[in-house]
Amino acid sequence: MERIFYIIQTYREYVLLAVLLAVSLMLFPLNDNTQIKQLRANSIAGLGILHEPVSLITESFTLRSENERLRRANIRLADEVYHLREARLENIRLRQLLQFREKTSYDLVAARVVGRSPDPIRKTLTLNVGREHGVKENMPIISESGLVGKVNIVADNFSVGQLMLNRDFRASARVERTGVDGILRWDGASGMVLDNVAKTLDVNEGDVIITSEYSNIYPSGIYVGVVSSVTIIPGNVTKDIRIQPGVDFSRLQEVFVMFYMADEEKIALEELTGRR
């Protein structure tokens, strides 16, 4: 209390001025004098003029804060939508795989693609299944869309698969409609070629290509793709047959390893002729 009296005593002139100004401001609205009314009106107008830019500044800060909040909310919602979309697509893929698994007569083990080779001419993928899951070398790899390739290397819990889109890939295949046989290989781009088909044999665009019973790696009847073009080259005894694979290798995420093994003696013999 003594400190307060000391401050008042020390700054009494300023304290008195503040009290008088406060009293004046309190009495100002009660005075009906014409000059006071005019002064009051001018003061209100001046305050109104000052209020507009001040309010604009305040609103600017408020809007900026609100905009930042909305942007954060938008990012969060976009992330939620992305994950929901991914979950939906994965659900569709898994249902398709399940339906396919129920249709095939061979035992299958489901696998997820966990790696891809950067080699543009020897394309491979890494799967999260291996010996512990019963996987062996040369077992076919398939998806609900058709033939993918074969198992090349096997470890305990992982394996490496050779894709059809690989320079070393070969498989015996046939035209489903007519039974015409040929050797399936990669064309070096994004499609396949059916070689060794005489130009007199019946093969047309749109024909379905499947693995044949002559393959020593793949069982017969696995869907490969459709004939995209048939060209007869003058002077050649065979047709140039291009195949569009059924599998979209760029989007491959889940596959099956088929528990199918051909006779090893037959494999060794036919590898000498380049037929696999």
Pairing of strands 223-232, 239-245: antiparallel
Q: Judge whether 76 lies within some domain.
A: no
pLDDT for 189 equals 82
* 61 residue type, one letter: F
Cα(43)–Cα(35) distance, integer angstroms? 12
Q: Judge whether 47 lies within some domain.
A: no
Q: How many domains does the chain have?
A: 1
Q: Judge whether 189 lies within some domain.
A: yes
Q: Judge whether 216 lies within some domain.
A: yes
Q: Judge whether 181 lies within some domain.
A: yes
- Sequence-distant (6+) residues with CB within 8 A of 27 are none
Reference 153, options 62, 257, 75, 59; nearest CA is 257
Q: Which domain holds residue 227?
A: 169-248
Reference 136, options 159, 115, 119; nearest CA is 159
Q: Judge whether 190 lies within some domain.
A: yes
Cα(266)–Cα(276) distance, integer angstroms? 10
Residue indicated by tokens 């390893």: 257
Tally of CB atoms within 10 A around 150: 23
pLDDT for 94 equals 57
Q: Per residue of the chain (276 residues), what is the pLDDT tens digit?
A: 666 666 656 666 666 656 655 656 555 555 555 555 555 555 555 555 555 555 555 566 676 777 777 777 776 766 666 556 656 665 655 555 555 555 566 888 999 999 998 888 889 999 999 999 999 999 999 998 899 999 999 999 999 999 999 999 999 999 999 999 999 999 888 789 999 999 999 999 999 999 998 888 898 889 999 999 999 988 889 999 999 999 999 889 889 999 988 767 766 666 665 544
C-alpha distance across the termini of the chain, in Å: 105
pLDDT for 201 equals 94
pLDDT for 144 equals 85
pLDDT for 256 equals 92
- The enclosing domain of 223 has a CATH number of 2.40.10.350
CB 255 within 8 A of CB 101: no
Q: Judge whether 117 lies within some domain.
A: no
pLDDT for 39 equals 55
Q: Judge whether 239 lies within some domain.
A: yes
